[in-house]
Amino acid sequence: MFTENYARMLSNQPLADRMRPKSLDEYIGQKHLVGEKAVLRQAIEKGQIPSFILWGPPGVGKTTLARVIANTLDRPFYLLSAVNSGVKDVRETIEKAKKQQFFNKPNPILFIDEIHRFSKSQQDSLLGAVEEGIITLIGATTENPSFEVISPLLSRCQVYILKSLQKEELLKLLNRALDEDSVFKQAKIVIKEDEAILRYSGGDGRKLLNILELLYRAHHDTKKLIITNKLVTERLQENMAVYDKNGEQHYDIISAFIKSIRGSDPNAAVYWLARMVEGGEDPKFIARRLLILASEDIGLANPNALLLANAGFEAVTKIGWPESRIILSEVAVYLANCPKSNSAYMAINEAQQSVQSTGDLPVPLHLRNAPTKLMKEIGYGKEYKYAHDYEQNFTDQNYLPDELKGKRLYTPQDNPHEQKFLERLRKLWSKRYGY
């Protein structure tokens, strides 16, 4: 029988842990990996999983999936966190795995959470065990493994990308908690409106359950808890740090940081930078975001922004904390004060959309290379006009596929640099950029 003491004992364990699935059938999300006939599910069902890295945002089920796989395959499961584990911990775990071999047991799964935080020497210590099959490595990262995982280790692992949970998946997770959790199925909870709770979760299943638990703990009325958009917003504004306790907040702060620079507010930029510095954020994580912003949001309005951001990234990789805070502050303040343009970003988006909608259009014959006599005979390179043979090193000829002739993909924006571009483009390509 369900008792108050039992409920109290369970409620001390976070809801997200209580709701952690035990099998693939209970697992919510990532159908492209573990749905019927999906690549990872087939490997699991065959019992022949490779070492691999799960790359995706927080709260999408990376740790859970690793545990489910170990449980499904009946493999020993070792878990290390890159935040508080060193080379010694890795070697001790590998030694334990070696001893398992004497009993003809399948090789254990070593799960390393936040593997992107492992140093090169820590990652090096894994190579032999992965290569020899002593362990099956499953790494979890929120960062691009191409940047953060050493090439020898990356070449020995598959990389699987996990996606943020969609609305229907979040609702399924929410309803399962209300229907199946030993504490919540006894509670009187009605979800009258779900827009706010889903929006604040941001596709993060763990955050969603944390919010639900926060609402439940903050509810002191003996009557049923009716969840509305207003209630969710009020409670989260009062308890922002509570539902963000597992570290997801760094995504919100980096978002505020980038938006402040995009909005040309150096004061807000250095404030959010200070929040990340005080929180011990990886300086390379911040520097990479600044590199992206320099191209995406400043771009051709000030091409020097990318040069400074790149120099900042290189300096940060050599120095680290605490001195990197000065370099990052210099770059952030400079970028915030730059004029803004996303014209290059918009141009490549427009070009990709054209490619997707028109397919692989043929290269016009006059633009094709003609290294052989046959190619010349069939028209490759014929009638191509060499720009340097003409006045101002320019001649009006089509460089796009015939189907896209005259299409404008790049539109200069209203800043001094690009207005000079526009003036020149109007002289050269009057039909495309005419008044």
- Chosen domain end from 283, 302, 337: 337
* CATH code assigned at 283: 1.20.272.10
Return the SS3 of 158.
strand
Q: What is the pLDDT of residue 372?
A: 62
**37: burial class by Cβ within 10 Å (0-12, 13-18, 19+)?**
exposed
pTM (predicted TM-score): 0.59
Identity of residue 401: P
Same domain for 91 and 46: yes
**pLDDT band at 1; cut points 50, 70, 90:** very low
Within a domain: 346: no
Q: What is the pLDDT of residue 7?
A: 47
Q: Are 30 and 162 in contact (CB under 8 A)?
A: yes
Same domain for 320 and 199: no
**pLDDT band at 381; cut points 50, 70, 90:** low
Same domain for 429 and 306: no
Is pLDDT of 430 > 60?
Answer: yes
Is pLDDT of 246 > 50?
Answer: no
Determine the average pLDDT of the residues in 388-409: 78
pLDDT per position as a tens digit, 207-223? 899 889 888 887 766 67
Q: Are 263 and 293 in contact (CB under 8 A)?
A: no
* CATH code assigned at 189: 1.10.8.60
- CA–CA dist 55, 175 (Å, integer): 27
Within a domain: 419: yes
Same domain for 174 and 156: no
29 dihedral zone (left: phi>0; alpha: psi -120 to 50; beta): left
Selected residue with higher pLDDT from 122 and 111: 111
Q: What is the mean pLDDT of the chain?
A: 82
Determine the average pLDDT of the residues in 310-316: 92
- Chosen domain end from 198, 223, 243: 243
Within a domain: 358: no
56 lies in which domain range?
Answer: 16-161
Same domain for 400 and 266: no
Same domain for 209 and 125: no
The pair of three-digit structure tokens given for residue 228, joined into one six-digit string:
């509305």
Determine phi and psi for 113, rounding to 5 degrees: -80, 140
Is pLDDT of 357 > 70?
Answer: yes
Return the SS3 of 239.
coil
Residue with tokens 């390179």: 381
Same domain for 226 and 184: yes
- CA–CA dist 157, 50 (Å, integer): 7
- CA–CA dist 166, 168 (Å, integer): 6
Within a domain: 347: no
- CA–CA dist 257, 263 (Å, integer): 10
pLDDT per position as a tens digit, 3-33? 444 444 445 678 888 888 888 888 999 999 9
The number of folded domains in the chain is 4
Least confident segment among 114-128, 168-182, 240-254, 370-384? 240-254
Determine the average pLDDT of the residues in 348-372: 76
Give the rounded percent of residues in the chain with a pLDDT score beyond 90. 18
